[in-house]
Structure formats: C-alpha cells, structure tokens
Amino acid sequence: MKTKYILNFNPEASNLPITHNLIAEYGLLVNILRAEIDEVGGKMLIEVSGDEASTKNGVEYLEKIGVGVRPFKEGVRRNDETCTHCGACVSICPTDALSIDPETRKVKFDEDKCVACGVCIDACPPRAMEILI
Ligand code: SF4
Ligand code: SF4
C-alpha cells in the first residue's frame, strides 16, 4: 500500500538519516515529494510504500525519534471561487491531476492523482492552488 505523510522535524531530528532507516530497517520504499528543511528543522512530504505492519512500524520509529507524523489527506486544495479555468496548470501537471473536462471545458482537479509536487502553485495566475504542508 502507498501512504503519504507530512513529517515535522525539530533541529535534532533534521540531521538523522530517516529515509535511509525507513528503507534499510523497515523495508519501506520512500519517495520524497516535497521538502522544506534545514538545520533548524522543517517539513517533508513523503510517500511510503510497504505492507501495513511495516508502515506502522516505520511511523512508530519516526514518532519515537521525535518526528511529527500526520497523514497527508488534504495537502493540495483548489479554491474553486478563485479559479478562472484559464487552463495554465493543465499541461504542467505531471500526473494529469488537472485536466479539461471535455463537456464543460472547465478545469477539473482530481485530488487522488495529485502528488503535491507544487508546480501548479506558482503557475496559477490568481493563486487558486494552495499546498497545505
Ligand atoms: S492555473 Fe489556476 S486559475 Fe488557471 S485553471 Fe489552473 S487552477 Fe484554475
Ligand atoms: S501539485 Fe503537482 S500533481 Fe498536484 S495538481 Fe499541482 S501540478 Fe498536479
């Protein structure tokens, strides 16, 4: 199974090789989707692939070393009142999470396909896309 998590690092945890440990010690595949981290801490969005027990053990390991872990559910949001359906985000979205509905000609946002890469955030003229990390 694949699960996305937002990790919050304090200064102590920010220098630990947590990705390596999740892979080597817990047999998980870890994909870093977004990171804003430096020596004083920060946040990271990761996608973890592995069975349920391994994922649970990996999360427990992170919490034990002081990393805040919360599931990533509503990470990217579109403000439907602000979106003008200009289409500027459609061709740059790497996962086709943003696409043009052939019937309405409006831009659809499929949250399940979104990997929170953040590309659309800066590209959206009226700033309708927002990442909650
Ligand atoms: S770039 Fe922004 S305003 Fe244009 S369609 Fe995409 S989300 Fe809507
Ligand atoms: S954050 Fe990335 S994957 Fe998600 S909608 Fe924007 S461009 Fe597409």
120 and 95 Cβ atoms separated by less than 8 Å: no
Q: Assign 3-class secondary structure to the chain.
A: CEEEEEEEECCCHHHCCHHHHHHHHHCCEEEEEEEEEECCEEEEEEEEECCHHHHHHHHHHHHHCCCEEEECCCCEEECCCCCCCCCCCCCCCCCCCEEECCCCCCEEECHHHCCCCCHHHHHCCCCCEEECC
45 and 4 Cβ atoms separated by less than 8 Å: yes
Q: What pTM value is reported for the model?
A: 0.60
Q: How confident is the model at residue 16 (pLDDT cuts 50, 70, 90)?
A: confident
Q: How many domains does one find in the chain?
A: 2
The chain-wide mean pLDDT, for the chain, equals 89
Distance CA(39)–CA(23), nearest Å, equals 23
At residue 61, the pLDDT reads 95
**Claim to verify: residue 14 and residue 62 sit in the same structural domain:** yes
**Claim to verify: residue 20 and residue 67 sit in the same structural domain:** yes
Domain end position, chosen among 34, 54, 71:
71
* Residues 105-132 pLDDT 10s: 999 999 888 877 788 988 999 999 987 7
Domain end position, chosen among 35, 56, 71:
71
**Claim to verify: residue 16 and residue 63 sit in the same structural domain:** yes
Which residue type occupies 47?
E
4 and 47 Cβ atoms separated by less than 8 Å: yes
Q: What spacing in Å lies between the alpha carbon of 87 and ligand 1's midpoint?
A: 6
Domain end position, chosen among 48, 71, 94:
71
Mutate to test the pocket of ligand 1, among 89, 106, 108, 121 (most ligand atoms within 8 A of CB): 89
Q: What spacing in Å lies between the alpha carbon of 42 and ligand 1's midpoint?
A: 28
Kindly state if the Cβ of 119 falls inside 6 Å of ligand 2. Answer: yes
**Claim to verify: residue 121 and residue 81 sit in the same structural domain:** yes
